[in-house]
A and B are shown apart, each in its own frame.
Chain A
Amino acid sequence: MKDNVKLTLTMGLVAGSLAIAAPAYAEGEVVFASWGGSFQDALRSAMLEPAASTLGVTVKEDTTNGIQDVRAQITAGAVAWDVTEQDLPSCETLSREGKLEPIDYSIVDTTGIPEELIHENYIGFINFTKVIAYRTDAFDGAGPSNWAEFWDLENFPGNRGMHGKVNYNLEAALMADGVPMAEVYDVLATDEGMARAWAKLGEIAPEVTVWYRGGSQSAQLLRDGEVDVIHMGHNRVESVIESGIDVAYAFDGGTMDVDCLLVPKGAPNVENAMRLINELLSAEAQARLAVTMPLGPVNTGAFDTGIISGEQALSVNTHPSNYDKQLLVDPNFYIGQLGELTEEFDTLIQQ
């Protein structure tokens, strides 16, 4: 509700300023919206402030709660944001709905960005990976480090923790069942493949101690020793390790998801938006963020800037030595069937 009021105010203000201000003024600014909190604080110091001084424009900030905000602005005909960060399925959904400005690749330099993250109407921004992490004290130092071992309760007994939503779990089940990473989504595209994934997930489901809902909960479960092995955000695992707990993890079979940058259709400063995106994706900006928070730069050039130390680089999920070990999540699998998948998943985990 508060956000709606804020949104309405912002929209009103932007509409007002557009009507009154001379075009010269509009050229001098760009509005960027991300998830707020400490994450956006990190973005500000690593990316937004340097970009503002390089481009000579004012970068205004707002926060988003997701796809519905972008839709609301476009439907109301009062687009307030020039650039916003959204998760991959939202970007793809908005793109299909024709609600995005195409990315101007004459301004946005894609050097160093993996091809699969470059799309006509949006582009990858930051990579997040969920990895298998285990407490070394529970497994004498050699715990489950791939999906088959995660599923293997005989040789790796211990409490399991998994993500309490359908996302990533069907993929994990297929990998546990021996499907090579590259074929996971091909298998999931068939009815037999889907049935196979559900059956495999059904094997582990009764043995899962906690299906966690939030990132902070996953970190607490691992820290308190409530679970011995868990599939959770790699940046959270790093913070648990930093707090002095003996935890090991590997990137193999990790599920990698991406947040993207997009420009809503009808954004007030499209050209500045493209210039801002170019800055946000620059090797230097991406490297500066990676040292603030252990989240993956999409621009592999970030590792050549000298900003990320050699040792630190190895624990970043998008480092070339890690990237190919992980499964990049395919948003197309979820779009249009998330509701049904969620119901089937909830039926499975419901006691």
Chain B
Amino acid sequence: MSVAELNGAAQTLQNASTLKSEERRESLTFLGLSMPAVLAILIVVFLPIFWLSSLSFYNAAGELSMENYARIFESALYRRTFVVTFQITIAVTVICVLLGYPLCYWLTKVPDRTAAILMVFVLVPFWTSVLVRTYAWLVLLQRNGVINSSLMKLGVIQEPLQLAHNLTGSIIGMVHIMLPFLVLPLYATMRGVDTDLVRAAVGLGSSPRGAFWRVFFPMSLPGLFAGIVLVFILSLGFFVTPALLGGGKVQMLAQRIESTITVYSNWGAASALGVVLLLLALAMIWLMNRVFGLDKLFMR
């Protein structure tokens, strides 16, 4: 495209129409090439979502009804599940930001070689199965686990801390799994920030702290926002980690969907929850877009 545009500027008016038709043909070619992917997405994403949503409007007897949605809003259990889901999601997102931002900033300060090696420590867990990492946390956090037994041997604590089988354990496990989703886009953005601008600010009399907050930080925001959205949306639908580290007491939306299917053998009730979860995720994206201006991230 850009080559075509550059050439176009240099061409005579006579050639412009030829170029235009070529451009059109080219875009058609690209459309044709992307058709398999577009079709695949239509078939494996949109069709099932459509089918799922339509199921949610049928009750167990197979009649059209809003029964499944009414239950979600009437029952104390479902309300509590939504509250817990959001509590965990917000906690995980905040902790990821608090841990991830300083980490990324530090990575931009160390020599490239060191940064590359340190990135491996972020990426290796990222490539490891969620289930494996969750079980690893169980081994670390449980009553006779590595952390408790070490602290007790050192005399730091007398009684083991309750780190697993509760909300704390679930959040620790989820933060570990979600952190790379924040670090990767944020680090990429920070690397792109022109550090000469920070130096210029200091040179013009700003304090280093002021230069960071007024020059570097605003320029790193697009990456931070992208990371926050990723972490938030992925956390909303978490299943394995709270199921294993929550001791059966921490029940997020995805777990509620699973138990709804196994107990009621009713796809409608579970579909309704799925639809609500999907709408919540979309609403969050819309809201974050309004607040953070995400669309600007993708238009350079």
Q: Are A339 and B250 in contact (CB under 8 A)?
A: no
A342 contacts partner chain B, Cβ-Cβ < 8 Å: yes
> A211 touches which one: B80, B247, B264 (CB < 8 A)?
B247
Q: Are A349 and B259 in contact (CB under 8 A)?
A: no
If over half of A's interface residues share one DSSP class (helix, strand or loop), that class is named, otherwise mixed; here it is mixed
Given known A-B contacts A209-B165, A210-B248, A351 and B143 have beta carbons under 8 A apart:
no
Mask, A162-179, CB within 8 Å of B = 1, is: 001000000000000000
> A351 touches which one: B76, B144, B250, B256 (CB < 8 A)?
B250
B166 contacts partner chain A, Cβ-Cβ < 8 Å: yes
Measured CB to CB, the residues of B under 8 A from A are 75-77, 80-81, 84, 142-144, 164-167, 243, 246-251, 256, 259, 263-265
A45 contacts partner chain B, Cβ-Cβ < 8 Å: no
Q: Are B247 and A210 in contact (CB under 8 A)?
A: yes
The distance in angstroms between the C-alpha atoms of A351 and B249, with both chains bound, is 5
Scan residues 199-236 of chain A and give those whose CB is less than 8 A from a CB of chain B. Answer: 208-213, 224-226
> A68 touches which one: B167, B246, B248, B265 (CB < 8 A)?
B265
Min CB gap A90→B, angstroms: 11
Q: Are B143 and A342 in contact (CB under 8 A)?
A: no
Q: Are A339 and B264 in contact (CB under 8 A)?
A: yes
Known: A209-B165, A350-B80, A351-B246. 16 other contacts (CB 8 A): A208-B249, A209-B247, A210-B247, A213-B243, A213-B248, A225-B143, A226-B143, A338-B263, A339-B263, A339-B264, A343-B75, A346-B251, A347-B77, A349-B249, A350-B84, A351-B84
The distance in angstroms between the C-alpha atoms of A135 and B166, with both chains bound, is 22
The distance in angstroms between the C-alpha atoms of A350 and B77, with both chains bound, is 8
Instruction: Give how many A residues have a beta carbon under 8 Å from the other chain's beta carbons.
Output: 21
Chain B residue at smallest Cβ distance from A341? B263
Chain B residue at smallest Cβ distance from A210? B247
The distance in angstroms between the C-alpha atoms of A347 and B265, with both chains bound, is 20
Q: Which of A159, A164, A224, A351 lies at the interface centre, i.e. has the most chain B CB atoms within 10 A of its CB?
A: A351
The distance in angstroms between the C-alpha atoms of A346 and B76, with both chains bound, is 10
Mask, A146-163, CB within 8 Å of B = 1, is: 000000000000010000
Q: Are B143 and A159 in contact (CB under 8 A)?
A: yes
**Which residues in A have their C-beta under 8 angstroms from that of B166?**
351
Chain A residue at smallest Cβ distance from B162? A209
The distance in angstroms between the C-alpha atoms of A225 and B160, with both chains bound, is 12
Mask, A272-294, CB within 8 Å of B = 1, is: 00000000000000000000000
Measured CB to CB, the residues of A under 8 A from B are 68, 159, 164, 208-213, 224-226, 338-339, 342-343, 346-347, 349-351
> A342 touches which one: B81, B167, B243, B259 (CB < 8 A)?
B259
**Which residues in A have their C-beta under 8 angstroms from that of B164?**
226
**Which residues in A have their C-beta under 8 angstroms from that of B247?**
209-211
Q: Are A164 and B144 in contact (CB under 8 A)?
A: no
**Which residues in B have their C-beta under 8 angstroms from that of A351?**
84, 166-167, 246, 249-250
Min CB gap B127→A, angstroms: 26
Chain A residue at smallest Cβ distance from B139? A224
Q: Which of B143, B165, B167, B250 lies at the interface centre, i.e. has the most chain A CB atoms within 10 A of its CB?
A: B165
16 A-B contact pairs sorted by A residue (CB < 8 Å): A208-B249, A209-B165, A209-B247, A210-B248, A213-B248, A225-B144, A226-B142, A226-B164, A226-B165, A338-B263, A342-B259, A347-B77, A349-B248, A350-B80, A351-B166, A351-B167
The distance in angstroms between the C-alpha atoms of A164 and B251, with both chains bound, is 12
The distance in angstroms between the C-alpha atoms of A347 and B264, with both chains bound, is 16
Q: Which 5 pairs show the lowest CB-CB distances between chains A and B?
A: A211-B248, A164-B248, A351-B249, A210-B247, A347-B77
Min CB gap B272→A, angstroms: 14
Q: Are B143 and A346 in contact (CB under 8 A)?
A: no
Min CB gap B32→A, angstroms: 32
Q: Are A346 and B77 in contact (CB under 8 A)?
A: yes
**Which residues in A have their C-beta under 8 angstroms from that of B251?**
346, 350
Q: Which of B166, B243, B265 lies at the interface centre, i.e. has the most chain A CB atoms within 10 A of its CB?
A: B265
Chain A residue at smallest Cβ distance from B247? A210
